Structure 1
């Protein structure tokens, strides 16, 4: 009688999966930036919070790359996805009633906030699935040297997090972000008058 080995998720394989996940999160943020700068659709306050959720997921995955996989890093990614998913669900519910309008143009049949909700659910499920494999946590925590794919993923998410921060400050100035943004307040030099 032969015993088949259970699938093993080694720390190195876990780090590879985290790098690929980080690149996927980066791709989501790149699409959002493309729509913002090429499509001319500025993110609304709820959209900005969803982007922050993706950045938080990216931070959790990046910590797994740099310091090795840890349950606390997955927890950060899951909590960020839960927060981003709650904001995305709120926006879906705001626009689900016929006649209430939508925000932004659809992408492959769904609006970005609907895609965000689906992606946050996938992220939560993916991180929870990875938590089932204990062997990835066996070695003592250590600092990993990033190279190749890991370095690319790490740099991508760092640049996109910085870009989102700068973009938000330019759009919202020093105050609240407008509900329906039409320009960058800091670049225009004046804060638009509040709508009645």
Structure 2
């Protein structure tokens, strides 16, 4: 049961990353530096869940998930506070009345609550040497999906920011600008 819940959680985190990535690629809304840090929080949470799927549930793996979600939540709060003051504007489009950074805070909170609840089920940590831990095919597919999303986000970040600091309000991929020279 624990591996199934971890695989479902990994799918949910992957869907969040897919939504953010699709918004970036299809709608052209490049992520700001705080948005990128929130993605790091999601990728860290995915790493902890993937460890649970691949190697079996461990309190330390849940710790990785919870710490990553807390990090991402703090970044989300920082971004919300930066846009909550009247006249400061917002970043990106809204979905159902909330911006990605507000949704991210809610999802990070759900991750923390979900993992905390799972920690109460101590039987998942009992190991039997007679029956080795084995990840399911679906679970490993979720691990592969999360790994591919982490790689895609890493590549897109390098393309967006180049070798320097990421711009506060990115509008172009820095490393792709040189591919199409301006026309006279």
> TM-score scaled by structure 2?
0.93
Q: 1:45 aligns with which of 33, 36, 39?
A: 33
CA distance in 2, matches of 1:102, 1:36: 16
Please name the residue that 2:123 is paired with. Answer: 135
Gaps of 5+ in 2: 180-184
Residue from 93, 106, 109 that aligns with 1:105: 93
**Counterpart in 1 of 2:56?**
68
SS of alignment partner, residue 142 of structure 2: helix
The alignment's C-alpha RMSD in Å is: 1.5
Superimposed CA distance per residue, residues 102-154 of structure 1 (whole angstroms, 9 cap, x where no aligned partner): 00000111000000001001100100000011100001599744443202211
* 1:167 and 2:151 matched: no
Deviations 1:21-50 (A, max 9, x none): 000000000000110011110000000000
Cα gap change, 1:160/1:67 in structure 2, threshold over 3 Å: closer, same or farther?
A: same
Q: Secondary structure at the match of 1:87?
A: helix
Q: Which residue of 2 aligns with 1:6?
A: none
* Whole-angstrom CA distance in 2 between matches of 1:170 and 1:47: 15
More helix by share: 2
Residue in structure 1 matched with residue 139 of structure 2 by the alignment: 150
The whole-number CA distance in structure 2 between the counterparts of 1:138 and 1:87 is 35
Q: In structure 1, which of residues 91, 114, 125 is the aligned counterpart of residue 102 of structure 2?
A: 114
Q: Is the 8 A contact 1:67 1:143 kept in 2?
A: no
Structure 1 moving runs of 4+ over 3 Å? 140-147
TM-score by length of 1: 0.87
Q: 1:143 to 1:107 in 2, by over 3 A?
A: farther
Q: Give the secondary structure class of the aligned counterpart of 2:98.
A: coil
